[in-house]
Structure 1
Amino acid sequence: MDIAELSDLLDRIKGLKVLCVGDIVLDQFIYGETNRVSREAPVPILEEKRRDTMLGASGNVVRNLVSLGAKPIPVSLIGDDREGETLLSLLDADGVTRDHLVVETGRRSAMKTRFVSAGHQMLCVDRDPLAGRDGDTEARLIAAIESAAPGADAAILSDYGRGLVSRAVSQTLIKACRKAGIPVCVDPRGRDYSRYDGATVIKPNALELSEECGSTVASDDEAIAGLNAVMSGLKDTDALIVTRSSLGMTALNRDGSSFHVRSRPRPVYDVSGAGDTAISMLALALGAKASLETSMRAADLAAGLVVTKVGTATVSADELLAEARLRESGEASAKLKTRAALCDSVARWKAVGLKVGFTNGCFDILHPGHVSLLRQARAECDRLVVGLNSDASVKRLKGEGRPVNNEMSRAIVMASLESVDQIVFFDEDTPVSLIEAIKPDVYVKGADYTVEALAPLGGDAVVRHGGRIHLARLEDGHSTTEIIRRSRAGT
């Protein structure tokens, strides 16, 4: 999908309410170094350096939805133990409602602990939940689902096989969503998908599909055959999707049509939680009325990005846009950076004493006035960063019909200039947050501005962090607006 389509989709998913039904697990990562072997047994000793605790399993779906700007409504079952209290605290920290959670007296909350050294998992310890003393937990879960579904825009059923997702719970959710007219996406577990029948989408991975259909699903034809075998046992499910790691995704619709969405090859550091990220984006896109194929492309993009991170990570809308831009950048890719990558570059430059300059603009139709400004800016520093207004930002600032050239075209032209060292897009109307992030030593704008006029546009931030403002001389007779006017007038 192109950047404009993705940007529009990400705008539409903001604020969507997504009902999340499934097992929430307390994820714990213990990071350390292994430099010696135990005297008690031939095993390495992990010297603990850091311990991270986060929401896992269905809780990781909640985290992904929050990161993408949505409003998750979790329905889950936790214990009244210390781990359960930690889970509630983590939900509170993310601003997530706990109104539909069921806390069971005497229940042991589920926990997964991973021991990591040098970026590799050494050991994973599972602590399964144990039922408490309440005898009405399923009835309370069903009541919570029926209460929450009418106010949601989409729903996700994450079955992690921890005992929460019974047939009754699954079918209650699906029927409630059908009645409310919202999509429900299922991340299945185990055999017999009939308990999920009626869902909008059921999304197994390749191994899960192979177990369900009883045959391998390595090739495209095998994947489609496996999906057909499963679909034959379902009466009311709209579509099946199998995620196939580096091969992307394959979908089968109820009418028998199928298609593939291919993934872009990329380095994989950790696949933990990639399925959670994929189903989060898939459900959000469907909830925003996107087509199944568009939703899958967005989900594949999100999952492909999260596997480059360590641990059960999440992705944000800004990261997805940055990733899409890098995919389209071509020859500009060496200079075009995400905000995070730019901050790393700036830190390295400053560490060796280089002065960092910054300027920004739409640069819609590059003309000699722009080139002069950029040369003057580069003369004031050792490394020049250009903040480029995104297409959405240009349209808000300049009105309909702008930009004339899309953001990637503008970035490619900008990257060809020797005076420019790195380029970063920003979607806001002003570069204030970008300036706060990189803290340039000098901020360069044209002399048609004043220092006072620049103050609310980032000038105050530059000075506050010890930088200065430089006003570059203007080249008379050059204006993008005038070029467009003459072009339209035919003069």
Structure 2
Amino acid sequence: MNLLKLIEAFKKQSVLVIGDTMVDKFIWGKVGRISPEAPVPVVEITKETETLGGAGNVANNITSLGAKAYVVSAIGEDNTGNSLIKLLSEKNINSDYVVYDAHRPTIIKTRIIAASQQVVRVDREIKGSFAHSTELKIIKNIEQLLPKVNGVIISDYGKGVVSPKVLTKVIALAKKYKIPVTVDPKIENFKKYKKVTTITPNTKEAIEGMSARNISTDADIENLGRKILKTLNSESVLITRSEKGMTLIDRNGRVTNIPTRAKEVYDVTGAGDTVISTMTLALAAKADLISAAEVANFAAGIVVGKIGTATVTPEELNKTITEFYK
């Protein structure tokens, strides 16, 4: 399939992202002395920034690629929640279906950085199941949105939005409407993602999710992928393997190894979000699995060459692919 035509088709797609949204806050500063109260550095703050984290960053990748993104999630009735909605709006991400829960805070992860080094990270969150009423609202919003979209991403960070009931409902509706549903898995929930179109674990997630041992060779990875397919009864699995690229295995047992397209690797933060976003958009645009994985691989190669949680644009993808095939 022509990858450039595929990228052009992205702007006609709309994707529903279901999962745990959060705010990533960065406090930047400099260190000039050690505290007299304890053997810790004193950070003098120079600036503060906030970005979308979790499922919000997945949605950000969708809109960056020119498509429309909807988010179904649950946040608290607090200032952080207001900040998150504002961040979604700034990125042209539809937040009309985000549910508010008065009993849970909006997740915020605060990183204090000095001299380009992370000094400490502070998380404010409550994990676990949401109230039954909140879960029902999430399911209702999913039911309303599914007929409107071309693809679904389940972005599970294990905070509670992707409950067993939500997962069952999403997969059943996606099958009904014949749209692809992809999963960025959480290790502890790995074996619950049954009958999805594609699951995109990295090597660590694939090994630990299946409680596998002695995985080292390409053959080991391929066999592990086949076991994942059999266990989940899914259509395909795309295992991302850092410098070794990706391994795609479909339900017929066909294996496609795709070497990395990264020229330089500065930061792998958010690369998984870019992979699943690009892969899902390609499948939504009716691409075959191999073409979808190839374009996702090019996107990952671009994003790891950037510092921090980054996204990819259609222009960047077009340029990279054109130069590669010259």
Question: Shorter chain as normaliser: what TM range?
Answer: over 0.9
Q: Secondary structure at the match of 2:231?
A: coil
Higher-Rg structure is 1
Give the aligned residue type for 1:43. V
Instruction: Give the AA of the match of 1:146.
Output: E
Q: What is the Cα deviation at residue 138 of structure 1?
A: 0.9
Match of residue 100 from structure 2: 103
| Equivalence for 1:138 | 135
Letter in 1 for 2:20: D
Q: What is the letter of the counterpart of residue 252 of structure 1?
A: I
Partner Cα separation in structure 2 for residue 216 and residue 201 of structure 1: 24
Distance 1:192 1:104 in 2: 23
Q: Given that residues 105 and 133 in structure 1 are in contact (C-alpha distance below 8 angstroms), is that contact kept between their aligned partners in structure 2?
A: no
Give yes or no for contact 1:23–1:162 (8 Å, CA) kept in 2.
yes
1:232 maps to 230
Aligned-pair distance for 1:324?
A: 2.6
Query: Offset at 1:107?
Result: 2.1
Instruction: Output aligned runs, 1:295-374, within 5 Å.
Output: 295-328=292-325
The 2-side partners of 1:216 and 1:51 are apart by 44
How many residue pairs match? The answer is 325
CA deviations 1:60-100 (Å, max 9, x no partner) are 00111111111001110111111111111111222222221
Structure 2 counterparts to residues 168-317 of structure 1, below 5 A:
168-213=165-210, 214-235=212-233, 237-317=234-314
Unpaired segments of 5 or more residues in structure 2?
none
What is the CA distance between 1:319 and its match in structure 2?
1.5
Question: Percent identity of the aligned residues?
Answer: 38
Checking the alignment, whether the CA contact within 8 Å between 1:215 and 1:226 is kept in structure 2 is no
Deviations 1:122-157 (A, max 9, x none): 322222236899541111111111110111011100
Compare 221-230 and 75-84 and name the one that shifted more: 221-230
Going from structure 1 to structure 2, the CA distance change for 1:133 and 1:63 (only over 3 Å counts) comes to: closer
CA positional deviation for 1:39? 2.4
> How many angstroms does 1:276 deviate by?
0.5
Deviations 1:434-475 (A, max 9, x none): xxxxxxxxxxxxxxxxxxxxxxxxxxxxxxxxxxxxxxxxxx
The SS at the match of 2:311 is coil
Residues 266/34 of structure 1: CA separation in 2 closer, same or farther (3 Å cut): farther
Partner of 1:94: 91
- Name the SS of the counterpart of 1:66 in structure 2: helix
Deviates more, 1:104-113 or 1:43-52: 43-52
Q: CA deviation at 1:265?
A: 4.7
**Which residue of 2 is the match for residue 151 of structure 1?**
148
Task: Tell me: CA distance 1:72–1:216, structure 2 relative to 1, closer, same or farther (3 Å).
Answer: farther
Q: Which residue of 2 aligns with 1:24?
A: 21
SS in 1 for 2:252: coil
Q: Is the 8 A contact 1:228 1:252 kept in 2?
A: yes
Aligned to 1:10: 7
Q: Deviations over 1:405-443 (max 9, x none)?
A: xxx5xxxxxxxxxxxxxxxxxxxxxxxxxxxxxxxxxxx
In the alignment, structure 1 segments of 5+ residues that lack a partner are 329-407, 409-491
SS at match of 1:275: helix
Q: In 1, are the aligned partners of 2:262 and 2:300 still within 8 Å (CA)? A: no
Amino acid at match of 2:74: L
| Residue identity opposite 2:294 in structure 1 | R
Name the residue aligned to 2:80. 83
How well do the aligned residues superpose, as a CA RMSD in angstroms?
1.9
Checking the alignment, whether the CA contact within 8 Å between 1:109 and 1:130 is kept in structure 2 is no
Is the Cα–Cα contact under 8 Å of residues 155 and 184 in structure 2 kept in the other structure? yes
Distance 2:262 2:69 in 1: 31
For the Cα contact (< 8 Å) 1:171–1:195, is it kept in 2?
A: no
Verify: 1:55 aligned to 2:56, yes or no.
no
Relative contact order higher in (CA < 8 Å, ≥ 6 apart): 2
Contact 2:110 2:121 in 1 (8 A): yes
Task: Give SS of 1:173's match.
Answer: helix
- Separation in 2, partners of 1:317, 1:265: 17
Q: Distance in 1 between matches of 2:100 and 2:144?
A: 17
Go from structure 1 to structure 2 and tell me whether the alpha carbon gap of 1:216 and 1:84 turns closer, same or farther (over 3 Å shift).
farther
* Secondary structure, aligned partner of 2:294: helix
1:33 correspondence with 2:25: no
Instruction: Give the letter aligned to residue 117 of structure 2.
Output: H
CA shift for structure 1 position 34: 2.7
| Distance in 2 of aligned mates of 1:43 and 1:308 | 32
- Is the Cα–Cα contact under 8 Å of residues 114 and 125 in structure 1 kept in the other structure? yes
Q: Which amino acid aligns with 2:183?
A: V
